[in-house]
Chains A and B, each alone.
Chain A
Amino acid sequence: MATLKNLLTAVCTACLLAAVSPTSPALAAKKKEFNIAWTIYVGWMPWPYAAEAGIVKKWADKYGITINVTQINDYVESINQYTAGKFDGVTVTNMDALTIPAAGGVDTTAVIMGDYSNGNDGVVLKKGKTLADIKGQKINLVELSVSHYLLARGLSTVKLDEKDIKTVNTSDADIVAAAKSPDTTAIVTWNPQLLEVKAEPGASLVFDSSKIPGEIQDLLVLNSETLKDNPEIAKALTGIWYETIALMKDSGEKGKAAREAMAKLSGTDLAGFETQLKTTHMYYAPKDGADFMTGAELPRIMDLVRSFCFEHNLLGENVKSKDAVGIQTPTSTLGSATNVKLRFDPSFMKLAADGKL
């Protein structure tokens, strides 16, 4: 019996130790190795290409660090992993950066304003030609995502409310199959799925993100504490980014080869990739990205986004006002100044613009 007791004690202790150690969040400190997660999206394809072409290693070596660029298959999962502390940075939209890591208490800083969706997200109706026809329809979309935001913004332009429609949560992986189903009449989704859905016979694109320019931004964010202790990671990443997208923009052979490689990495061909690129407003010049962050537009946009998030309980069920989570842009701070969890920092893009990286 005594041995059994000892055994039990040993097992308990082992379990407790095992439980405690891996759950500790990544502690901020000076470090040499950094993990960045990315998912397939036209505006993020420069990352895997940069890793493949050795651009990541070149800049990492320059700053004496190691950068691992990892692909995650599922977009939401990549953000969740980042929020849980498994990654130091992640590619994410402005809205998801607010609702997942920032609302989850993980202080997050956007260091690269990569692009905004300029038609990559859209509302497609199989029955109806204008957005107003959506009234009373059942709409398949990924609920509480940028698609939902786009829909809400669209509805407000035709004086409709979310009460006038019914939403059905549909996984982005299955939305193309869903769109082919005869009882599906309305879909909101993003590229590359949007291209497929739009091509359905009789389908018409009635609203897209080019009508709300700048509101769906694709960012690279870093954990603010990691960034504070290791500014060189942001410098290296910014260097990688602008070197790679310069290649992407290049109209010559080198640019074509780069775009072809990115197309292949995202599972499409050059033509498909370039179609998607057309509906993506890339900030090719670091100065443009920095200017957008420092401009007066950003606080207005983030206020729209946070209002939507608060109205849909995305900031947390117990949050009483949209001011609970503070958002800091270079020009102003929205919401709680004592609980700033999402920051926009143009300083690294400015360094890139001045050629000081």
Chain B
Amino acid sequence: MTRAMNVVPPRGGRILLAMLPFVLIAIIYVIGSAERRAANPDDKLLPPISEMAATTKRLAAEPDRRSGEYVLWVDTAASLRRLALGLGIAAAVGLAIGLTIGLLPVAGAGFGTLFAVLSMIPPMAVLPILFIVFGLGELSKVMLIIIGVTPTLIRDLSLEVSAMPREQLIKAQTLGASTWQVAIRVVLPQIMPRLLKCLRLMIGPAFLFLISAEAIASDVGLGYRIFLVRRYLSMDVILPYVVWITLLAFLLDLALVYIGRRAFPWAFVQEPR
């Protein structure tokens, strides 16, 4: 008998298996929605899919009655801008500090513990401080993402650097490399794939911080819209937005994978497709 771990679905079967849970969820939703609608034709909790499609069309393709904007796109652009700024700055800072701490024993001794402690602070707990220090504008939203994501990046990258084989660093030195050259020519290229992997894992938390910041004080953005219409239980807006955010995060993840495989093919040799 074949062991369970050796049963590999054929290509078509794999796609089918991947779709199955989605189809199941959809079926459960449709039944639940129909059930609630039968009891109360104005029910807002589980709107039928046709209604969500109509709302999505209105949000995406028709200008808003009051502001004249295409709500979905304006929200998406604002949120993606904040997310890109936050993740971009966090990646740059995380890379610079992580590399320094991992490579230089003096920096490691001086700041390693600090960042280990900082990474334990729940960012949401310091929100009132963020507001007072950075105000309520764009800055505080981007800062929340940076504060939430950077410490983890620093810790992970510094650990990755200190786990690099000593022989490599010694060899570079015997070939006459300075500390700077080792950092730029030996260490940096090797931790770039790790940075991309880390960023992939941080997309979820980054979205979490973004939506939280937008929920608390904002006038545009995906999180803003969700928390605004939550006041009157417009699930026909909330559910498509959730799907849209999930899709955006998924695409972002795919993009990072693609960049990683294109830029650093050597790092993915061991990984199955």
Contacts and interface: CB of A to CB of B under 8 A. Distances in A.
Contacts of B31: 16, 19-20
Interface in B13-45: 24, 27-29, 31-32, 35-36, 39-45
B125 interface: no
A174 B43 CA distance: 31
Interface in B54-93: 54-55, 58, 65
A145 interface: yes
Contacts of A316: 44, 234
B49 interface: no
Contacts of A171: 215-217, 227
Contacts of A15: 24, 28
Interface residues of B, number: 42
Given A171-B217, A177-B128, A181-B136, A144 B228 contact: yes
Interface in A1-50: 12, 15-16, 19-20, 23-25
Interface in A104-151: 104-106, 140, 142-145
A178 interface: yes
Given A174-B217, A177-B127, A16 B28 contact: yes
A188 B178 CA distance: 60
Contacts of B219: 166-169
A144 B136 contact: no
B65 A178 contact: no
Given A177-B132, A181-B136, A183-B136, A170 B41 contact: no
Interface SS majority for chain B: helix
Given A166-B219, A171-B216, A83 B44 contact: yes
Nearest to B41: A105
B233 A19 contact: no
A80 B233 contact: yes
A286 B55 CA distance: 44
B231 interface: yes
A72 interface: no
Nearest to A148: B231
A167 B218 CA distance: 9
A262 B14 CA distance: 61
Interface of A: 12, 15-16, 19-20, 23-25, 76, 80, 83-84, 99-100, 103-106, 140, 142-145, 166-171, 173-174, 177-178, 180-184, 313-314, 316-318, 341
Given A12-B27, A143-B231, A174-B216, 20 more contacts: A16-B31, A19-B31, A19-B32, A76-B230, A76-B231, A80-B230, A80-B233, A99-B232, A104-B42, A105-B44, A140-B136, A170-B216, A170-B217, A171-B215, A171-B216, A174-B128, A178-B136, A180-B131, A313-B65, A317-B237
Interface of B: 24, 27-29, 31-32, 35-36, 39-46, 54-55, 58, 65, 127-128, 131-132, 135-137, 215-219, 224, 227-228, 230-234, 236-237
